[in-house]
Each structure stands twice: as structure tokens, then as C-alpha cells.
Chain A
């Protein structure tokens, strides 16, 4: 069995990426990634190396399930989903947001989380791992692009 250190180095990136997908928040993803490796450390003698990283992903998944159970977010979504249906087509401004070469995924995510989902910069920081200053910068940039394009359309 490799040393714990070697296993940590080998798997921490992949485990964190999975944790991010599983909970969508960096702070929680860090916490459950740590929990997974702490659990690995405590059970090192009982685990076969061939079981990794699947064993770690299972720990992360279980923690993530607990996390979502504690959230009321998914319950609010269920209530909304039953009431309103979104259109399938993508309206002009939305398709423009995805078409414009100057906007990267990080700009769009900041923009959508801020102006569609009304999150604070602190909440966006929790999701993305960006600092609030970086988020401010991305939003400022995205607004600049949007203003320039919308002015063109208006003319």
C-alpha cells in the first residue's frame, strides 16, 4: 500500500473536481474533500489501493447527499418547477451572451448568478472560488461588453 501522502497527491485533484460538481460550492467542496481524505487516513489499513479513487468518490457523494438534504434550495426549486415552465427556445439576449467571443464561462456564470439569481458577491465567491474583488472585476467587464453591444443594437 502506498503511503498516505502519495495517495493524497495522486487523487486530491480529481476528488475535489468531483466534490465541486456534487455540491456546486467551493467552500463545501473543500470541506468534503478534506473529510474524504481524513476518512481514508483513518481506514488506510483496511482499504485496498485498487478501490481508489472510487472509495473517495463514494465518501464525497455521501457527504454531498447530506449537504443537499440540509439545503432548502432544492425544495424551493421543486415548488417552482411545478408552477412554471421555461421556454425551450433561447431568447436573443441569452443566445447573444453565449455567442459573444469576449465573454468566457466565468463571466457568464458571474453575470447569471448575480443578475438572474440575485446572489451577493460573497455567495458567488463561495460557488466559484473567485475572490469578491475578482467577481467585481468580471461583472464590471461583462457589463461593459453588454452596454457596448446593447448600444449598438439600439442604434
Chain B
């Protein structure tokens, strides 16, 4: 039954059916509560007043109100809860990416040092020996990327939204993490019809482009990888890393295209990597069905992404039936 303020739906357009039921069951109590606190400031203003960032007159009004309102004093304590003020890993990555992309040029001797990361400078002669290591693939450490709590300096972030791309509701399982280049660049599959010299040329072109990638300079890496990808149109690696870079730059449309190209060209575990990042791009674009299609194949497989893919499906598309375990 609507109250004097109108229905809950009119006040909060994204209301769920259970919230409407809740409003019917206990609506009177909350209506009264809202009326009692009609003069209360937005909780954010309370902390801002204490931080000295509100205009003087407003801050004075807030402090005056706080002196009289026990409810706001208690809410203020909640708003200052360390958990709500914490710099989480995602926020840390976004801030870092923004600082990096704004401060790309370094005119002074004092440099932005790269995060601690081993150099990979193995000679090309390792190519043949590294065929044995190919089983783990070039894209990703096969133990699977894991989400670590707290700021993770080695894990970069995505830039603020660009290209007008709207971000779909994020999934906690489908989080963007940089695919590390962990193996020597010599560990690359020789494909049918390819000669050692073809792969040598790819490696020779790819290696310099992956230096800014490792340094989280995604704008520069993307520019270089784009050139390499055009030069080697049948190789999935440049397209894959280019797609990952574009995800970090929030160029989601282009990321989806590059990753689909990489997926089309890749095999085995490389294809799984491309499928995972493709699903992330589609999910960001709000193309849930395409994302779920990729995730379903990963979930049904036995690769390193299976568990995360199944969890991601449950989060972003709860109506999708659970995949029976094999």
C-alpha cells in the first residue's frame, strides 16, 4: 500500500520484489524513521564536515545537528569504520593506472621504478628446448591467478571508464588481473606450417612490446602490440596481450574484438586464457550472454579457469542452471 511519500518503487526505481514485500511488512516503521530523520544530513557530509571540506555555513549546520542527534553520531561512527574507508585492491589498481597513464613521461633522473619483477632475457636458442615447457603455455601461470586482499602493488588496474563504455555489474569472480608473462619468450608453440624463423621473427617483435606491458604502461604496450599484431596476423599472442591491455585501458569494445581474434587463432590453454578475458570484456559491455557462453565452456572444462568460471556464471547470470560435475 503506498504511503504518503509514494511507493517504495517510485523512490527507488531499482527495487527488488522482496524489497516491496519488506516495505509492506515493515513499511510503517521505516516511514516513521524517515520522518524522524528528515533533517539529518547525508552521512557523507558528516565526515566531510570533520575533514574541513564543506562550506563553512554548511559545516556549522552539520556540527550543530550532530550535537543534537544521537542517530547521526552513531551513523558517523559506522561511516568511519575502517572497512568502509579501506583502499581495496581494485581501487589501488585504478588509482595506480590513472597516475601511470597521466605521468607517462619522465623528464627527470628520479624515475618511477618498475615493480619488482624478474627480467626475462633468455636467448632465442631456448626456443627448441622450451617446447617441453610449452605445456604450461605462454599466457598465464597455470596455477591460475588469484585475487589477493588489500592493495597489491604488482597487480595493475583498469583506467576510469573511457569511450562511453558502460560497465555492467561487476562479478567478484570475474575480476581483471594482468596475465603475467612468466615464461621465457622462447616457450612458444611451433604451429603447423610455421618455421622456426617465423616464430623467431614474432618473438623478436613481441619481446620489446611486452616490456611496457610488464611495466603496466598499457597505453604504450597497446600501441606497440597493435603493430606486432598487424605484422603477425596468424599469431594469437600479440592479439591476446593487446586485448588485455585494452581491458586495463577500459577500451572494452576493442578488447572484445582483439580477444575474440586471439581465441580464434589459439589452441588449448592459450584458448582458455583468451576465452576468460573475452568473457570479462563482454561482461563489462553488458553482453552477458556472450560472456556466459565463454564462461560455460570454461566451467565445463577441466582447465585452471573452471572453478572461477562456474562462480562467475552464478554471480552474473543466476538463472543459468548449474553445470553438472563430470
* A interface list, Cβ under 8 A from B: 1, 3-5, 8-9, 12-13, 16-18, 20-26, 30-31, 33-34, 37-38, 41-42, 44-45, 61, 64-65, 67-69, 73-75, 77-78, 80-81, 83-91, 93-94, 98, 104-106, 108-109, 112-122, 127-129, 131-134, 136, 139-140, 143, 146-147, 150
Q: CB-CB < 8 A to B50: which residues of A?
A: 21
Chain A nearest CB: distance from B283 CB in Å?
12
Q: CB-CB < 8 A to B64: which residues of A?
A: 81
* Chain B residue with Cβ nearest A147: B25
Interface residue stretch chosen among B169-177, B206-214, B247-255? B169-177
A116 touches B33 (CB 8 A): yes
Q: CB-CB < 8 A to B111: which residues of A?
A: 3-4
Could you say which of B12, B40, B95, B315 contacts A37, with CB atoms under 8 Å apart? Answer: B95
Which bracket fits the contact residues of B? Answer: 35 or more
A24 touches B74 (CB 8 A): no
Question: Does B198 count as interface, using CB distance less than 8 angstroms?
Answer: no
**Total number of residue pairs linking A and B with CB closer than 8 Å:** 221
Question: Does B44 count as interface, using CB distance less than 8 angstroms?
Answer: yes
* B interface list, Cβ under 8 A from A: 11-14, 16, 18-19, 22, 25-26, 29-30, 32-34, 36-45, 47-48, 50-55, 57-58, 61-62, 64-65, 68-72, 74-75, 77-81, 83-88, 90-92, 94-96, 98-99, 102-103, 108, 110-113, 151, 153, 160, 169-172, 315
B99 touches A37 (CB 8 A): yes
Q: With the chains together, A6 CA to B48 CA distance in Å?
A: 29
Q: CB-CB < 8 A to A118: which residues of B?
A: 11-12
Q: CB-CB < 8 A to A88: which residues of B?
A: 68-70
B18 touches A20 (CB 8 A): no
Could you say which of A41, A83, A146 contacts B103, with CB atoms under 8 Å apart? Answer: A41
B45 touches A74 (CB 8 A): yes
